[in-house]
Amino acid sequence: MHPDIILPSFGLNPAHFSISRTGSGYIHATYKLTGSVSYILQRINKNVFKQPHIIASNIREASTYLKHHHPEYLFLSCIQTIDGKEMAYDDEGFPWRLFPFIENSITIDEVAHADEAFSAATEFARLTNYLDGVSLKLFSPTINQFHDLNWRYQQFEHALKNTTSERMNEAAETVSKCLSYKHLVDQYNKLISLGVLQLRITHNDTKINNILFNAITRKAICVIDLDTLMPGYFIYDLGDMIRTFVSPVNEEEKDLSKVVFRKSIYDALVSAYHEQMDEKLNETEKTLFPFAGMMMTYIMALRMLTDFLEGDVYYQTTYPKQNLIRARNQIRLLDVLMDQSY
């Protein structure tokens, strides 16, 4: 469906904008509306987010709490429809939402300097820090068991049993690598059963392109993509930052020799995280920084490989085997993370 159709629901006239696709997310369709005032318009993927009203209610709860306790904090909420709703539904039942476009802002797909890592990690960690104290009962999962490694592993096993022999053959090497890292699932299960991880409000999609940067100063302005703002463990956010910050190339890179660990970037992001969250983390949690990176890199490899085995039904792809390429990239990164002394 063309984005023009939905603009009147937000009181906007399509004739006043030039509309182009933007962003590099794998789930939603995102558009920039360029006009005398510009906006970001997004169509939510309702096959992934089956209860989009939960996204809206979690964001509303967080926004209310932050306005009260940290009024200076920039929390990018959406612009309401003319009926005062957070989302407008099109004829096919897809929800759309509108955000202000922040002038001179950019997103990046790779970290170039330690300063960027520090600044971005500060913003992701600050979100959890500032939401410390909000009642978790007010929030619901927008996707159940989203970063539950045990469950993702089970889905992978299910896909192995049900895939085609052709896909199984193509993926054989990556499959056996994924099987060989099963000990990370055992470690995760042990942490959960010991109850050492505290539930907090986490962002749950802290990849580097979910930070808005000032194009000139290269300082982080705010976090974006709050669809998975919900109760979670700090290792999810810290781990996804490690996964997407430390390598100079992102998960789409096919040349695996380029997937390397940049210690200066790791140190910068870790020190930013400590600065925000040290007082809140317990002593066991503080020992889990390296595990966080490995666990989140592994879960993404499993999810990408599972999607490949299932016939590319979840993530957006633009060419055949893209999910397998992504999974291989993430397994290489996991090998690299395992080799570090930290």
**CA dist 143 to 95, 132, 147, 182, Å?**
16, 21, 9, 23
Binding mask of the shown chain, residues 51 to 80, with x at each position contacting Mg ion by CB under 5 A: ------------------------------
* Residues linked to residue 231 through DSSP beta bridges, in sequence order: 201
Q: Is residue 291 within 8 Å of 187, Cβ to Cβ?
A: yes
**Least distance CB 43 / Mg ion (angstroms):** 13
From candidates 6, 7, 12, 27, binder to ligand GN1 by CB under 6 A: 27
**Least distance CB 315 / ligand GN1 (angstroms):** 6
Task: Determine which helix (DSSP H) or strand (DSSP E) holds 40, and give its type and residue range.
Answer: strand 39-43
From candidates 300, 302, 327, 337, binder to ligand GN1 by CB under 6 A: 300
With CB under 5 A as the contact rule, which of the stretches 90-98, 119-127, 148-156, 204-212 interacts with Mg ion? 204-212
Q: Is 55 in the site for ligand GN1 (CB under 6 A)?
A: no
Q: Which does 29 bind (CB under 5 to 8 A by kind): Mg ion, ligand GN1, none?
A: none
With CB under 6 A as the contact rule, which of the stretches 22-30, 54-62, 186-194, 334-342 interacts with ligand GN1? 22-30
Q: Is 285 in the site for ligand GN1 (CB under 6 A)?
A: no
How far is Cα 38 from Cα 44, in angstroms, rounded to an integer? 19
DSSP annotation of 79: B
Q: Which does 86 bind (CB under 5 to 8 A by kind): ligand GN1, Mg ion, none?
A: none
Q: Is 307 in the site for ligand GN1 (CB under 6 A)?
A: no
Q: Is residue 41 within 8 Å of 34, Cβ to Cβ?
A: no
With CB under 5 A as the contact rule, which of the stretches 1-9, 24-32, 147-155, 260-268 interacts with Mg ion? 24-32
With CB under 6 A as the contact rule, which of the stretches 25-33, 115-123, 195-203, 276-284 interacts with ligand GN1? 25-33
How far is Cα 225 from Cα 80, in angstroms, rounded to an integer? 17
**Least distance CB 333 / ligand GN1 (angstroms):** 12
Q: Is 203 in the site for ligand GN1 (CB under 6 A)?
A: no
With CB under 6 A as the contact rule, which of the stretches 19-27, 152-160, 173-181, 253-261 interacts with ligand GN1? 19-27
Residue 243 CB coordination number (10 Å): 28
**CA dist 107 to 148, 219, 307, Å?**
28, 11, 26
Q: Is 207 in the site for ligand GN1 (CB under 6 A)?
A: yes
Could you give the angle at the alpha carbon of 325 between the alpha carbons of 150 and 29, nearest 5°? 80
Tell whether the torsion through CA atoms of 45, 27, 200 and 296 is positive or negative: positive
How far is Cα 11 from Cα 98, in angstroms, rounded to an integer? 11
Task: Determine which helix (DSSP H) or strand (DSSP E) holds 243, and give its type and residue range.
Answer: helix 234-245
Q: Is residue 211 within 8 Å of 76, Cβ to Cβ?
A: no
From candidates 225, 253, 285, 307, binder to Mg ion by CB under 5 A: 225
Q: Which positions touch Mg ion (CB under 5 A)?
A: 25, 205, 225
